Structure 1
Amino acid sequence: MAGGKKPSGVSPEAKKVRFKKSERTDATDDATAGKSSSFGIYSIIATVIIAIVSWFVYQGYLETRVNSPLAESKVALATSHAFPERYWGSFRPGVYFGIKTREPESLLAGLMWFIPKLAAGGNLNLRHQCDQGDNLEQYGWREHDGRNFGVQVIIDKFIQLETSFVTRLGGNHGGDWTARIQVHPRMADLKGEEVTLFFYLTVDDNGKGLLQPIRAIDNMDASTMSTSESIKYLGLSAVHGHTDKLGDFRVSFQHESTVVHTAFLSTTIDNPQQVKEVLQSGLRMMEDKKSKQRHISLAGSMFAKDDTLKQPNLVIHQVTGKLPFQLEVVYESQSFVNREDMLNGQVYETLLQKHRKNFHAKFEEKFHLVEKGYSEEDQVFAQSAMSNLIGGIGYFHGSSKVQSVYNKEPVPYWNAPLYTAVPSRSFFPRGFLWDEGFHNLIISQWDREISLDIVAHWFDLMNVEGWIPREQILGSEARARVPDEFVVQRNNQGNPPTLLLVLDAMFEKRSLRDITNLELEQLNRMWPRLTAWYNWFNTSLHGPVPGSYYWRGRDMASERELNPKSLSSGLDDYPRASHPTQDERHLDLRCWIALFAKVMTSVANLIGRDGRKYQEAFNFLSDNRLLNEQHWSTKAKRYSDYGLHTSNVTLKRPKSNPGQPKPDKVRVALEEPSVQFVDDTFGYVSLFPLMIQILEPDSPQLGQVLQDLRDSSLLWTKYGLRSLAKTSPLYNKRNTEHDPPYWRGPIWINMNYLVARALHHYSKIDGPHQSRAQVLYYELRENLIGNLIRQYQKTGYIWEQYNDATGAGQGCRPFTGWSTLVLLLMSETYA
């Protein structure tokens, strides 16, 4: 071919090759696309799996938060090292007389008794746990300093028991102690009647220890004794014991010649709740063949057939004596090596009288009742009130049952100790968060170290969320006395932070030079917990608008309650908006948070922390303009809650078929509720801006509150301020047909104290309402003190609440929790 030019196009071979390449490329692309598609699917599946696993992991994390402790240093110090003088004490408030250590798995000592003359039909009427059903004429500590000694009087039918104890330091375990039980006839012609005492030793829950009874007859020549003498000495002379915490110890029993019979029981039990039952099962009727005297007597050693070790952890010593007589129980630690003499007899009496003398001197130094002109009888009342509060301090150990919205079932809190006072030894012998703040207004005046120790224990119960369970039911003794429906604590419900009242009273007006190193150390350890608690309140209980708050826990679906309760507020059935919603504003809670911010500011300044945000929060929450905007009803001229409400509700019984049981009454709203102030209700909640002292002294609202305060058709009575005005629709109304009114009329001393304290505050500040506040203060204070003393003299008790029509004590007794605030009214102690 001329010119040598290449032909255009592609040869057939090249085409074949190209075709094959293209074919491969398409196949490869298809494969790649398939792989990409599969990879995408796998990626999506993996992402979904990771998301699901992450969700479950996160849910699991949320489930554990409710029972995870806050990861901060504990505030409470180790008792055995920091406070050896408070290692032993009457830390079992739920029994008439009991002694234990401030340790888990402690040795427990306790007393039971019965009067043979009153035993009938197999019922001994055995006394052990404080019980209103025993109908004792009176019982309670007359003197108790929280450290060294206590003296208690118990009046039961025709006898009077005086139980006392004294501790003495030495060795490594809080030293020695002695308990003395004296039994006297109340009338001369009862002299010689018989009474039986049982003093027992055992070990607290899950505790391990050895108790070895030493029989009295083992130390005597039985061959020379008559039958009656051998029966008389069937009891014990001592018990030798050992526990891991106490080491070796000896407990000796000593009594007088008027004792006619002794016996003992040794056995094993699973927990202290079995003591009374086991004792009753171990009683026998014994007769002296010669004298024909018959005695109800313990059976001696008593073990189950499969108990091959026969190592008792319960020993009971029985003493039956003719009135009058006494029993002394002497505990001696084997680590106390420099003991000069046994703490019994005259040695005991001398030391007891020394402590009693010091108690009276300290009581006057703290409360000035002699200086104020109170009679000796009034002083005895005041000393008994405070002593029963101090003597009602218990030491508990165990775990609460708690639940969050993320837990299907309740879960156990961690095991923890709690050193706390209790509201009532008979009815509420356990710790209550909002009660404890009021208790420690008194305790902190008596002994700041004890009070700060109690507050520290409460703060150590805080979980990682900053929540503290409001009711503490720790250990078998406490758990056995609480119905199941009240055991579980829920982490969306708090209690009023009344511990802030204590910190305010203890530190608000003090400078660094007035504070001990121990107090400063504990305040610094407490700070992270205070901030966590403050944050919990502000994130968990905030309301719909800034500055508003509402209590959680009201039952929005309740059908049987006239007004669904607000248990977490502490005011239970006090009327709120009739139809609970998330848009409520609760006045009392707002005021508690204002107090919280104020105290946080004070503590921050004291320990050198940055308290500016707390000061800003207090300024915001105490701003009277905003307070009035959110809670002042111009129509009713009073402070009120706000929510979905109608006054026109009632309880009605649904119709039932003939022959069928009557159904419970249910709530019926006779008109549609609307969002409004709950201004048909005037009562304690209406007074909170006064009680927390956030009203400006020249506030017109303050003037109106003081005017309404003295109106006898509202809250004023000659016995104190009733909880709910007589004009309120739910005054003295049952909340269900089965639940009597609680905070709907009766007089409560804790709220009255806060009002009296506020009146005293405003009576000292210049302003248009100063003179009115002063007059109201003196009148209210006189009414409260006079009625409590009269009721105590009449009934022998301080009560949970007082009738607003008659002044009579009602509710449970003795209630030497916050009702003991009468002492601070008498001494005019408000800071």
Structure 2
Amino acid sequence: MAKIADFSPLLFAIILFAVTACCADDFADDTIELDKIDDSVKALLQEHARSSNSSLKWGPYRPNLYFGVRPRGFPDSFLSGLIWYNVDDYSRVNQMRHSCEQGDDIKGFNWEIYDPRIGGRQVIHDSTHNVDITTEFVKDGPNWAVRVKGVPTGGPDTHTAIVFYYGVGGLSSSKRLNQYSTKGYDEDVVLKGYNANLGNFRIKITRGPDTNRGPDEDHVISFSRSPQNTHVTGLTVNPELLWRAQDFYVQNLDKQIKGVQEIYRNGNLPEAKHLFQISDNEQDGNLYFVQRNFKGAFEFDVLFQSEDEEFTVDKFTSLIEETVEEFDSRFAEILVPQEPFTTEKDLEFSKALLSNLLGGIGYFHGKSLVDRSEAAYDDEESEEFWVNRGAEAVEEAPSSELFTAIPSRAFFPRGFYWDEGFHLVPIIEWDPDLAIEIIKSWFNLINEDGWIAREQILGLEARSKVPGEFQTQYPTFANPPTLVFAIAQLVDKIENGLSETLQGIPLSELGQQSFFGLDRERDQIRNAHLKSPELASTALKELYPKLVKHFEWFRRTQSADIRGWYSSTSPRPASWKEGYRWRGRTPNHCLTSGLDDYPRAQPPHPAEMHVDLVAWIAEMANALSKIAKFVGAPDSEVLRYEKIIEDIKGNLDFLHWNDEAGAYCDLGWDVENDERKHECHVGYVSLIPFALGLTPTDKVGQIVNTIRDPEGLWSAYGIRSLSKKDAFFGQGENYWRGSVWININYMILKSLTEYYLNPQLPLRDKDLIADTYKNLRINLVTTVRREWDRTGFAWEQYEQGNGQAKGVKQFLGWTSLVTVIMSMPETLPQE
């Protein structure tokens, strides 16, 4: 594949900073000096940033909520959300909906279509409250709107209380424009606000169509207000606690109910449909609740518009139609399912998987908890590797921000380092520029040593969803660096895109300011780095030094002492350096590996070397090699990465391969005999080198045969995480001890296609690989699809014996990789 330097010498006349260093560390110290950029390139970068930021500014970036809008990049400016509950009786107010919860009796809350640059449609099936709620969200420049529709499932007389709220923080103000009324409002409610970062804005909450009905007009005398009307309450609260809007709503409602109880001290309280309705006040504040209680089906709109913009209901309606058309058209070009998954239902399923991944993208901001003590991990030879430093060692890190997809809105609404690389695989296909924004956001978190925390729990709202024992992050603890897995894919896509763009097109016509001038020309924004060498070069040059620093942090903090523990043994390893072990290991868990309870050596020992980690280091070197070639780094750097990869391949064979097991194995230490030993547990850990393309040709067939063993790893639902033959299979927590996980299955499926293309592979192995690929693809898609139809959700993992859902629901998340799997060809070509 040609690299960017091959296309035109003109390109390097506009390189944004000089490459003068001769080694990785020196090159990593370079920075982009904006004052030295050519004016035309500077204009291009500014115009692209404006267009991209405009299209991504607003979104449902509070994915922990069933629906909540906030802007990206302005943490103290604005947030909003929806609250609802059934009011046919008194009991269900205690189960009101706001934040997504694993235990909610919801039969699905899924985006049917969603694109972060335009919007989409979400449907929520709420069994407890007898209502199906649809949210249709679209954006138009600085404006956005959501249409909320409800269809009762408990009969036409079902009563639903629904609340829209918004809060403004920082330097801001907000007030209502309607004249205050104790009876509520029988018209649209209009509020006006200001925030220093957003400027002046208006929010209109429409009354909706004439078919909207409220509760019948009984008991109204007791309240001097109409249950048919919209009611508004304004509050002034601590701006840092705006995220606790539900708590403030409940407190306000409770205060009102106690007042009603005083009136009805002799009993005969009003029915719930009248009682559970906020009272109007004329107070202005920084948090507003707007509530309607509906009878039967309902619909209303919330329109946000900047001061100088006109955003009408009619325009909103037309944008909803355009959004659906644009999404469907783009999906048909990029991720269309292949045989045998070509029915309309298959298409809807695939769209929903992608949409829910994209709809789970959030913007997070705040402080995290970090233990910066020098000895958060103890290297002494003992069974307890974990050292409890105590609360005195934990501190709040400075505020930071992250733009990221999340594993699960209900259970893991925060950034996870090792999940994110898998999230990015379909995102790169759908919107490469969005993927770059997410990658940049993650690498902006890097500290001076090159560390990025494996869990990003930023701010009080995110922290409220995490058990205390998991909140603290440790600067010596890593996670599988899957971001580089995605970065390597991204570089390939950029090179392919530039190769196509530059054929027959003068470079001078690329990257002009007008190229990105129209916000509605979103395909140009999504693929800008595939079309413009200047943008691609800038992005990768900014990323490269951070990735180098991160790579060196990995190699330094996770290194194993090969010479100290293994120098007296033979054969001699290919390298004394390329051996690694996960820090943070405990007797029963290796959370830092991502494969939490996967069996490792017992008892833990500092001589351990972990086969999955050394393979991931090779993948990091592979990604760095690709970027180094792209950005024109010195040849010595490229050669260094290639040498590391070759050394790791050598050590995998010399140190980690076990002939008897026919698998790569961890290394442990036999204390009794004072010698190294293989710790062989055939499963995902032993397959990581194969899944990352590090297995030599002579071992490929053997490993594929191991995968295909139905008494070992192969099941009708996907590859098991641990062999049925292993003593630990299905034992203990049984988390990564047999269940089928989509992320590793995807890696293996992808690697099968790459090994198949190796011309040195024997024909018999090619036939085996082709058959394995075909059947594995079908098994994975069928499993996830069947449970989606049965439960309404994608799941974290699947039971190896019957394919049923396990773990966390609404895991989209790496389970959304099924969208990519469906778009892969049905079969590999036979020679």
Same fold (TM over 0.5): yes
What is the aligned partner in structure 1 of residue 518 from structure 2? none
In 1, are the aligned partners of 2:373 and 2:393 still within 8 Å (CA)? no
How many angstroms does 1:641 deviate by?
Answer: 0.3
Q: Which amino acid aligns with 1:549?
A: Y
Structure 1 position 804 matched with structure 2 position 829:
no
How many angstroms does 1:213 deviate by?
Answer: 2.5
Deviations 1:135-171 (A, max 9, x none): 20111111111111121000012311100111111xx
Rounded to whole Å, the distance in 1 between the matches of 2:350 and 2:455 is 28
How many angstroms does 1:235 deviate by?
Answer: 8.7
Q: SS of 1:793's equivalent? A: helix
Structure 1 position 571 matched with structure 2 position 595:
yes
Q: SS of 2:206's equivalent? A: strand
Taking structure 1 as reference, are residues 800 and 264 closer, same or farther at Cα in structure 2, changes over 3 Å only?
A: same
Q: 1:523 aligns with which of 540, 545, 559?
A: 540
Structure 1 position 114 matched with structure 2 position 94:
no
In 2, are the aligned partners of 1:197 and 1:320 still within 8 Å (CA)? yes
Deviations 1:78-110 (A, max 9, x none): 976751111111111000001110112121111
Q: SS of 2:277's equivalent? A: strand
Q: SS of 1:388's equivalent? A: helix
Deviations 1:526-547 (A, max 9, x none): 1110110111111111112222
In 2, are the aligned partners of 1:79 and 1:86 still within 8 Å (CA)? no
In 1, are the aligned partners of 2:426 and 2:817 still within 8 Å (CA)? yes
In 1, are the aligned partners of 2:186 and 2:207 still within 8 Å (CA)? no
Rounded to whole Å, the distance in 1 between the matches of 2:196 and 2:640 is 52
What is the aligned partner in structure 2 of residue 660 from structure 1? none
In 2, are the aligned partners of 1:573 and 1:743 still within 8 Å (CA)? yes
Taking structure 1 as reference, are residues 788 and 454 closer, same or farther at Cα in structure 2, changes over 3 Å only?
A: same
Rounded to whole Å, the distance in 2 between the matches of 1:717 and 1:622 is 33
Q: How does 1:535-550 map to 2 (within 5 A)?
A: 535-545=552-562, 546=576, 547-550=578-581
Q: How does 1:82-93 map to 2 (within 5 A)?
A: 82-93=52-63
In 1, are the aligned partners of 2:174 and 2:192 still within 8 Å (CA)? yes
Deviations 1:634-680 (A, max 9, x none): 2322210001369xxxxxxxxxxxxxxxxxxxxxxxxx686444444
In 1, are the aligned partners of 2:796 and 2:808 still within 8 Å (CA)? yes
How many angstroms does 1:765 deviate by?
Answer: 2.3
Taking structure 1 as reference, are residues 90 and 809 closer, same or farther at Cα in structure 2, changes over 3 Å only?
A: same
Rounded to whole Å, the distance in 1 between the matches of 2:631 and 2:412 is 36
Taking structure 1 as reference, are residues 104 and 620 closer, same or farther at Cα in structure 2, changes over 3 Å only?
A: closer
Q: How does 1:578-617 map to 2 (within 5 A)?
A: 578-617=602-641
Rounded to whole Å, the distance in 2 between the matches of 1:335 and 1:406 is 54
Structure 1 position 191 matched with structure 2 position 156:
yes
How many angstroms does 1:808 deviate by?
Answer: 0.5
What is the aligned partner in structure 1 of residue 368 from structure 2? 400
How many angstroms does 1:299 deviate by?
Answer: 2.5
Rounded to whole Å, the distance in 2 between the matches of 1:462 and 1:421 is 18
**Percent of paired sites with the same residue:** 31
Taking structure 1 as reference, are residues 809 and 681 closer, same or farther at Cα in structure 2, changes over 3 Å only?
A: same
Q: 1:708 aligns with which of 691, 706, 709?
A: 706
Rounded to whole Å, the distance in 1 between the matches of 2:548 and 2:716 is 42
What is the aligned partner in structure 1 of residue 812 from structure 2? 816
What is the aligned partner in structure 2 of residue 687 from structure 1? 687
Taking structure 1 as reference, are residues 535 and 377 closer, same or farther at Cα in structure 2, changes over 3 Å only?
A: same
How many angstroms does 1:771 deviate by?
Answer: 1.5
Q: How does 1:590-669 map to 2 (within 5 A)?
A: 590-622=614-646, 624-644=649-669
Taking structure 1 as reference, are residues 677 and 374 closer, same or farther at Cα in structure 2, changes over 3 Å only?
A: farther
Q: SS of 1:811's equivalent? A: strand
In 2, are the aligned partners of 1:579 and 1:673 still within 8 Å (CA)? no
In 2, are the aligned partners of 1:640 and 1:677 still within 8 Å (CA)? no
What is the aligned partner in structure 1 of residue 451 from structure 2? 467
Deviations 1:702-741 (A, max 9, x none): 222111111111111000011111111211211xxxxx22
Between Structure 1 and Structure 2, how many residues are aligned?
689
Q: SS of 2:365's equivalent? A: strand
Rounded to whole Å, the distance in 1 between the matches of 2:468 and 2:347 is 41
Deviations 1:38-78 (A, max 9, x none): xxxxxxxxxxxxxxxxxxxxxxxxxxxxxxx9996699999
Q: How does 1:3-402 map to 2 (within 5 A)?
A: 82-102=52-72, 103-117=74-88, 119-120=90-91, 123-157=93-127, 158-169=130-141, 175-186=142-153, 190-203=155-168, 207-215=170-178, 231=183, 233=185, 237-256=189-208, 257=210, 258-260=212-214, 261=227, 262-270=230-238, 271-283=241-253, 284=256, 294-301=274-281, 311-336=284-309, 339=310, 342-344=311-313, 346-369=314-337, 374-402=342-370
What is the aligned partner in structure 2 of residue 661 from structure 1? none
Q: Which amino acid aligns with 2:293?
A: T
Rounded to whole Å, the distance in 1 between the matches of 2:752 and 2:122 is 36
In 1, are the aligned partners of 2:187 and 2:206 still within 8 Å (CA)? no
Q: Which amino acid aligns with 1:475?
A: G
Which range is displaced more, 808-817 or 293-302?
Answer: 293-302
In 1, are the aligned partners of 2:668 and 2:679 still within 8 Å (CA)? no
Rounded to whole Å, the distance in 1 between the matches of 2:414 and 2:708 is 36
Rounded to whole Å, the distance in 2 between the matches of 1:492 and 1:503 is 23
Taking structure 1 as reference, are residues 74 and 487 closer, same or farther at Cα in structure 2, changes over 3 Å only?
A: farther
In 1, are the aligned partners of 2:596 and 2:735 still within 8 Å (CA)? yes
How many angstroms does 1:437 deviate by?
Answer: 0.5
Taking structure 1 as reference, are residues 212 and 781 closer, same or farther at Cα in structure 2, changes over 3 Å only?
A: same
Q: Which amino acid aligns with 2:723?
A: A
Q: SS of 2:625's equivalent? A: helix
Q: Which amino acid aligns with 1:552?
A: R
Q: Which runs of 5+ in 2 are unaligned?
A: 1-27, 35-44, 215-226, 376-391, 502-529, 563-575, 827-831
In 2, are the aligned partners of 1:235 and 1:318 still within 8 Å (CA)? no
Q: Which amino acid aligns with 2:164?
A: F
Taking structure 1 as reference, are residues 81 and 71 closer, same or farther at Cα in structure 2, changes over 3 Å only?
A: farther
Deviations 1:333-359 (A, max 9, x none): 1143xx3xx331x32221111111010
Rounded to whole Å, the distance in 2 between the matches of 1:530 and 1:370 is 36
How many angstroms does 1:202 deviate by?
Answer: 0.8
Q: 2:737 aligns with which of 730, 744, 747?
A: 744
How many angstroms does 1:573 deviate by?
Answer: 1.1
What is the aligned partner in structure 2 of residue 11 from structure 1? none
Q: SS of 2:103's equivalent? A: helix
How many angstroms does 1:612 deviate by?
Answer: 3.3
What is the aligned partner in structure 2 of residue 172 from structure 1? none
Q: SS of 1:543's equivalent? A: coil
Rounded to whole Å, the distance in 1 between the matches of 2:664 and 2:420 is 27
In 2, are the aligned partners of 1:216 and 1:237 still within 8 Å (CA)? no
Taking structure 1 as reference, are residues 751 and 471 closer, same or farther at Cα in structure 2, changes over 3 Å only?
A: same
In 2, are the aligned partners of 1:146 and 1:390 still within 8 Å (CA)? yes
Instruction: Tell me the TM-score normalised to structure 2 length.
Output: 0.79
Q: Which amino acid aligns with 1:319?
A: R
